[in-house]
Amino acid sequence: MIEGIPIYHFLIVSTIMFFVGVCGFIIRRNLITMLMAVELILNSVNINFVVFNRYLYPDQLQGHFFTLFIVGVAATEAAVAIALIINIYRRFKSIEVQNVSEMKF
Amino acid sequence: MTGYAYTVLIPLIPLCMFLVLGLLTVKWKPIVFGIMGTVGMGTSFVLSLITAINYFFVVGPGPNGFEPIIATKVTWLRLTEFLHIDLGVMLDPISVMMLVVITTVSLMVHLYSMGYMKGEVGFQRFYAFLSLFSFSMLGLVLATNIFQMYIFWELVGVSSFLLIGYYYEKPSAVAASKKAFIVTRFADLGFLIGILVLSFYTKTFDFADLTAPNTTIFAESASVSFIGVSVFTWAMLLIFMGGAGKSAMFPLHIWLPDAMEGPTPVSALIHAATMVVAGVYLVARMFPVFHFQAPGALEVVAWVGGFTSLFAAVIAMTQFDIKRVLAFSTLSQIGYMMLALGVSGYGGEEGLGYMASMFHLFTHAMFKALLFLGAGSIIHAVHSNDMNDMGGLRKYMPITHITFLIACLTISGIPPFSGFFSKDEILVAAHNYSNTLFSIEYITAGLTAFYMFRLYFRVFWGNERHYHHTPHESPLVMTIPLMVLAFASIFSGFLPFSELVTSDKIGFETETHLMVALPSVLIGVLGIVVAWILYKKESLVPKSITEKLGIVYTATFNKFYIDEVYLFVTKRVIFNYISRPVAWFDRQIIDGFMVGIGKVTEKTSYEIKEMQSGQLQHYAFAFVAGTLILVLSLLYCLV
Amino acid sequence: MNVAMFYLLSAIILIFSVLSVTTRKILRAAVYLLFVLIGTSGIYFQLNYEFLAAVQLTLYAGGIVVLIIFSILLTHHISHKFERPALFNLLGGIAVAAIGAGAVLYTVFDHQFVASTAPALDVNMTAIGEQLLGMDKNGYVLPFELISILLLAALISAVVVAKKGKETEEL
């Protein structure tokens, strides 16, 4: 807990970060930058967990552990996603999503 | 009562034979299958004979005549508290008599077919179907209730269909089998409706309840009527329609002559001796209901029978196909039986017609089976159905000749052959009832003698034709049935039928009515003599007579164009004015509607599939926006 | 001091996250992401979650970002510059983000957070270790095992997916 800083300020930061991630996920055309946007989103959620834990339930560690697990999940997700991206690159010689429109129909 | 439990085996053995023969796929010699079928049928025959002797002679009549016995009964379908469909075995005089008739003729036909069908493709199938037919027919006559009868009635129709269409590669056989099935099926629709009406008002299917003479089940609804006629009359008329279809009564007779496309033993079994008399059996079975509840319907039965007998006899005179002559003769004889039932009263002497009908059924089965099997023997020798290809066969086929002659004498009503006795009883019954019907039958008797002897003389006398190979007598396996049936034809007339099979199951005494018998014998002899003059030696006389008759002869030869009328009504009228518009409506409107739905769906999906761009951002955008809308609406709108 | 530090970290996080999704050079985007992650770990430090902050630094900053940079180098030329995003996507993304942020912030400010009055737990490594592998009420051994299996599965699947298969060679 940081003296003099209300919980709301943390939440503002995390919210903005979350929606910047969402925005990036929508506007980016490159698979890797989309992945980075996802990392931003996960990170902002982590901040929320930690802050709620510290400010509202300082006697417990739930938020702390959740964050820990989310970090683990994010790592696995990044690993698999990058494997996929490399595979796609091999197949299409590009990771621009407009070139990868096999999902159509 | 339990002493008759074995009777259930009588229909079950042929059923087993059908299953075994139908499903066995081993490649044995065909004759093995024939022997299997025959042995099965023989067992049924022996059991039937034991049953008959037991029932009629060992146990004998009780104080109220012969008691109907329910040997076995299983409730198969329980519809309501009162209404349930049973399957069982009922023994009473007519069913026991029918058992003997069916198993005898069937056994003879099984035996005969081993010779006649030798070398045919599908020998095994033939025996399987024969067994199926025997099973169905036995189940029909043993039925304890009208619904069981209906079930077997349809089974009989199916097996008849299968057997008429036995030579399924022949288009005419296929057409004939379809015709037989459709016509009888159409009639059976009436039968079914009749059953439903009857059971709706009486709340029972059981023959025991329906035919009890003092039953009260009809009283409740006796006053219910439909278009001015009581419902029971309607029901019985509809049931008679089913019977008329199966028994080929005018105007539903058109299928029977065509049914001769089947193998000749089949014609003997199904289309002469057993299945076609199912209609007579049905009317006899329901006789108390007809008599007490629907005398009007009974009158219809009498007139339809009388008319058919004359009508068919007239046509039979002009036909050249020997099997068709026999088919029309069958029609005529069944007309006799129907007439006898129609004119009959109930109980004692009054019930003479009933007893005469059953008697004639019995004798007719024997001599008509004999005639058909004899005809089969001739066809076997000559390889043709046409009388014009035959002549002078008596030298080559002595046994066939003698047995055929016996059958012809029998059907012509010459004493002491059995046909004389049964026909005499029918004439007496008709005489007591109506002079018109009596004279119709009287004329028919003369015509019968004439056309049978026309057939006989043309086939066995006259000039020899040029044959492909010298005709020869049929093998023993075919002549033995002929001899057995000839024996039965001669002597079955001496059976004390009036003491065994009567309307109220109490026997009575009959005597020969000379006033009726003598003229009937005389007209029979007259018919024979005319035939003898015209056909003993070939001459031009018959031809000149037919030429003088002109249009009358042509019309008769063409069976009075009844088939053409049917064709006109069905093809021209029904097809063109009902079926075509209905088909058009179905194709264009109903199908069009469905096709339209399909087309619209296809078009729409084709248009909107562009939404699936394959661009990940679009999906992401849709996903996020959708989530947002959901969250916002949950937060602010739905609270 | 702490307050100023917090605002500084917040500013770094916000600015670099925006830059990371708007820059047209991919390697720079990765580096900006690195800064965001480091800023986040700074906040964890400020909240006295030293272990978490360390995990954040090593796993995120040290692991994931390095992974991303590797993949960038495998698939791009460093000088590669993105095209501008499509207008529809740009406007749609910004609109959705703005509306969402507005709704969430409104909800957050509308809500009165009630803090627990219980005494704060001393977060040391012993407590973390005991709870992480504990099997009692506050134990996390089951998620811990799940995560370990998940990591193993991800490891294997990443290898399988990225492996140069025979069929891909033909293409």
- d(Cα B114, Cα B165) in Å, to the nearest integer? 19
**Cis-peptide into B416, omega within 30 deg:** yes
Domain that holds residue C96: 1-108
Q: Which residues of C touch B632 (CB under 8 A)?
A: 103
User: End of a domain among B492, B523, B557?
Assistant: B557
- d(Cα A59, Cα C120) in Å, to the nearest integer? 5
Q: Which residues of A touch B615 (CB under 8 A)?
A: 97-98, 101
B90 beta partners: B70
Q: Are residues B497 and B568 in the same domain?
A: no
Maximum CA pair distance of chain C?
66
* Terminal C-alpha separation, chain B: 80
Q: Which amino acid is at A36?
A: M
C121: nearest CA partner in chain A: A59
Q: Are residues B609 and B487 in the same domain?
A: no
Say what the ipTM of the complex is: 0.89
Angle subtended by helix axes B322-343 and B278-285, to nearest 10? 10
Give phi and psi for B230, each to the nearest 5. -65, 150
- d(Cα A10, Cα C120) in Å, to the nearest integer? 19
Confidence of residue C38 (pLDDT cuts 50, 70, 90): very high
Those residues with Cβ within 8 angstroms of residue B141's Cβ, 6 or more apart along the chain or in another chain: B94, B95, B98, B99, B102, B281
B620: nearest CA partner in chain A: A26
pLDDT averaged over consecutive 10-residue blocks of chain B (639 residues)? 74 87 79 85 89 82 76 79 80 86 88 82 84 89 87 89 85 86 88 87 80 72 72 85 85 82 83 84 86 84 87 84 86 87 78 84 88 86 78 80 87 82 82 81 85 84 72 80 85 77 72 74 83 74 72 72 75 78 86 91 86 77 88 78
What is chain A's mean pLDDT, rounded? 86
Q: What DSSP letter does each residue of B294-348 carry, written as one string?
A: -HHHHHHHHHHHHHHHHHHHHHHTT--BHHHHHHHHHHHHHHHHHHHHHH--SSG
User: End of a domain among B533, B557, B581?
Assistant: B557
Q: Which residues of A touch B619 (CB under 8 A)?
A: 103
- d(Cα B247, Cα B241) in Å, to the nearest integer? 10
State the smallest CA–CA distance between residue C94 and chain A in angstroms: 6
Confidence of residue A103 (pLDDT cuts 50, 70, 90): low
User: B491 CB near a chain A CB, below 8 Å?
Assistant: no
Look at residue C165 in the predicted model and tell me its pLDDT: 62
State the smallest CA–CA distance between residue C47 and chain A in angstroms: 5
- d(Cα B494, Cα A2) in Å, to the nearest integer? 127
- d(Cα B334, Cα C58) in Å, to the nearest integer? 107
State the smallest CA–CA distance between residue C162 and chain A in angstroms: 5
Of B616, B621, B624, the CB nearest to A97: B616
Q: Are residues B12 and B61 in the same domain?
A: yes
Number of domains in chain B: 2
3-state SS, one letter per residue, for B52-106? HHHHHHHHCCECCECCCEEEEEEEEEECCCCCEEEEEEEECHHHHHHHHHHHHHH
- Put simply, the answer to whether A27 touches B617 (Cβ < 8 Å) is yes
Look at residue A21 in the predicted model and tell me its pLDDT: 92
Of B614, B620, B621, the CB nearest to A101: B614
Q: Are residues C85 and C40 in the same domain?
A: yes
Of A26, A31, A105, the CB nearest to B609: A105
Look at residue A11 in the predicted model and tell me its pLDDT: 92
Q: Are residues C139 and C86 in the same domain?
A: no
* Contact assessment for residue B176 and residue B258, using Cβ atoms and an 8 Å cutoff: yes
Of C89, C100, C107, the CB nearest to B617: C89
Nearest to C34 by CA among C54, C12, C50: C12
B75 beta partners: B86
| Residue C24 is assigned to a structural domain of this protein | yes
- Put simply, the answer to whether A22 touches B614 (Cβ < 8 Å) is no
- Put simply, the answer to whether B624 touches A25 (Cβ < 8 Å) is yes
Q: Are residues B292 and B346 in the same domain?
A: yes
Of B621, B628, B635, the CB nearest to C107: B635
What letter would DSSP give residue C25?
A: B
- d(Cα B589, Cα B594) in Å, to the nearest integer? 9
Q: Are residues C49 and C104 in the same domain?
A: yes
Q: Are residues C101 and C128 in the same domain?
A: no
Q: Are residues B165 and B151 in the same domain?
A: yes
Q: Which tokens hold the place of B425?
A: 């009883």
Q: Is 90 exceeded by the pLDDT of residue C15?
A: yes
- d(Cα B192, Cα B153) in Å, to the nearest integer? 11
| Residue C12 is assigned to a structural domain of this protein | yes
**B175-195 exposure pattern, b = at least 16 Cβ within 10 A, e = fewer:** ebbebbbebbeebbebbbbbb
Interfacial B residues in 608-627 facing A (CB < 8 Å): 609, 612-617, 619-621, 624
Q: What DSSP letter does each residue of B215-281 carry, written as one string?
A: --TTGGGTT-EETTEEHHHHHHHHHHHHHHHHTT-TTSTTHHHHGGGS-HHHHHIIIIISGGGHHHH
A78: nearest CA partner in chain C: C64
- Put simply, the answer to whether C143 touches A69 (Cβ < 8 Å) is yes
Burial grade of C127 (CB within 10 A; 0-12, 13-18, 19 or more)? middle
- d(Cα B93, Cα B90) in Å, to the nearest integer? 10
Give phi and psi for B249, each to the nearest 5. -80, 150
Which other chains touch chain A, taking contact as 3+ CB pairs less than 8 Å apart? Answer: B, C
- d(Cα C171, Cα C169) in Å, to the nearest integer? 5
Q: Are residues C47 and C100 in the same domain?
A: yes
Number of domains in chain C: 2
Q: Which residues of B touch A102 (CB under 8 A)?
A: 614
CATH of domain A7-95: 1.10.287.3510
| Residue C145 is assigned to a structural domain of this protein | yes
Q: Is 50 exceeded by the pLDDT of residue C171?
A: no
User: End of a domain among B557, B581, B600?
Assistant: B557
State the smallest CA–CA distance between residue C166 and chain A in angstroms: 12
For the ranges A20-24, B540-544, C165-169, the maximum mean pLDDT occurs at: A20-24
Nearest to B368 by CA among B265, B295, B465, B437: B265
Q: Are residues C16 and C96 in the same domain?
A: yes
| Residue C31 is assigned to a structural domain of this protein | yes
- Put simply, the answer to whether A101 touches B615 (Cβ < 8 Å) is yes
Q: What are the tens digits of pLDDT across the range C85-136?
A: 777 778 888 888 898 899 889 888 888 888 777 787 777 888 888 888 888 8
Q: Are residues B532 and B600 in the same domain?
A: no
- d(Cα B299, Cα B116) in Å, to the nearest integer? 42
- Put simply, the answer to whether A27 touches B619 (Cβ < 8 Å) is no
| Residue C125 is assigned to a structural domain of this protein | yes
Nearest to C46 by CA among B433, A9, B288: A9
- d(Cα C20, Cα C27) in Å, to the nearest integer? 10
Of C89, C103, C107, the CB nearest to B621: C89
Q: Are residues B612 and B468 in the same domain?
A: no
Q: Are residues B253 and B288 in the same domain?
A: yes
Q: Which amino acid is at B179?
A: K
- d(Cα B410, Cα B419) in Å, to the nearest integer? 5
Domain that holds residue B277: 2-557
Residue whose token pair is 């207008």: C87
What letter would DSSP give residue A98?
A: G
| Residue C85 is assigned to a structural domain of this protein | yes
- Domain regions of chain A by residue span: 7-95
Q: Is 70 exceeded by the pLDDT of residue C77?
A: no
Q: Which residues of B touch A100 (CB under 8 A)?
A: 614, 616
Residue of A26, A85, A92, A101 for testing the chain B interface, max B β-carbons within 10 Å: A26
A69: nearest CA partner in chain C: C147
3-state SS, one letter per residue, for B305-316? HHHHHHHHHHHH
Answer left, alpha or beta for residue B122, where phi above 0 means left and psi between -120 and 50 means alpha: left
| Residue C171 is assigned to a structural domain of this protein | no
- d(Cα A18, Cα B406) in Å, to the nearest integer? 111
Angle subtended by helix axes B352-382 and B93-116, to nearest 10? 0
Q: Are residues C17 and C46 in the same domain?
A: yes
User: C117 CB near a chain A CB, below 8 Å?
Assistant: no
State the smallest CA–CA distance between residue C158 and chain B in angstroms: 21
- Put simply, the answer to whether B628 touches C93 (Cβ < 8 Å) is no
What letter would DSSP give residue A96?
A: B
Nearest to B367 by CA among B275, B479, B482: B482
Nearest to A86 by CA among B73, C102, C162: C162
User: B2 CB near a chain A CB, below 8 Å?
Assistant: no
* Contact assessment for residue B270 and residue B278, using Cβ atoms and an 8 Å cutoff: no
Q: Is 70 exceeded by the pLDDT of residue C78?
A: no
- Put simply, the answer to whether B620 touches A25 (Cβ < 8 Å) is yes
Q: Which residues of C touch B639 (CB under 8 A)?
A: none
* Contact assessment for residue B47 and residue B6, using Cβ atoms and an 8 Å cutoff: yes
For the ranges A94-98, B547-551, B558-562, C20-24, the maximum mean pLDDT occurs at: C20-24
- Put simply, the answer to whether C30 touches A37 (Cβ < 8 Å) is no
**Cis-peptide into B93, omega within 30 deg:** no
* Strands B84-91 and B69-78, bridge-based pairing: antiparallel
Nearest to A26 by CA among C154, C61, C99: C99
Burial grade of B637 (CB within 10 A; 0-12, 13-18, 19 or more)? exposed
- Put simply, the answer to whether C96 touches B632 (Cβ < 8 Å) is no
Give phi and psi for B101, each to the nearest 5. -60, -50
State the smallest CA–CA distance between residue C152 and chain A in angstroms: 9
Interfacial C residues in 44-103 facing B (CB < 8 Å): 86, 89, 92-93, 96, 99-100, 103
Q: Are residues C60 and C127 in the same domain?
A: no
Q: Which residues of A touch B609 (CB under 8 A)?
A: 105
User: End of a domain among C87, C108, C129?
Assistant: C108
* Contact assessment for residue B187 and residue B245, using Cβ atoms and an 8 Å cutoff: yes
Nearest to B336 by CA among B456, B251, B426, B220: B426
Under DSSP, is residue B415 helix (H, G, I), strand (E, B) or coil?
A: coil
Q: Which residues of B touch A98 (CB under 8 A)?
A: 615
Which CATH number characterizes residue C71's domain? Answer: 1.20.120.1200
What letter would DSSP give residue C117?
A: -
Please give the model's pTM, rounded to 2 decimal places.
0.66
- d(Cα B35, Cα B107) in Å, to the nearest integer? 11
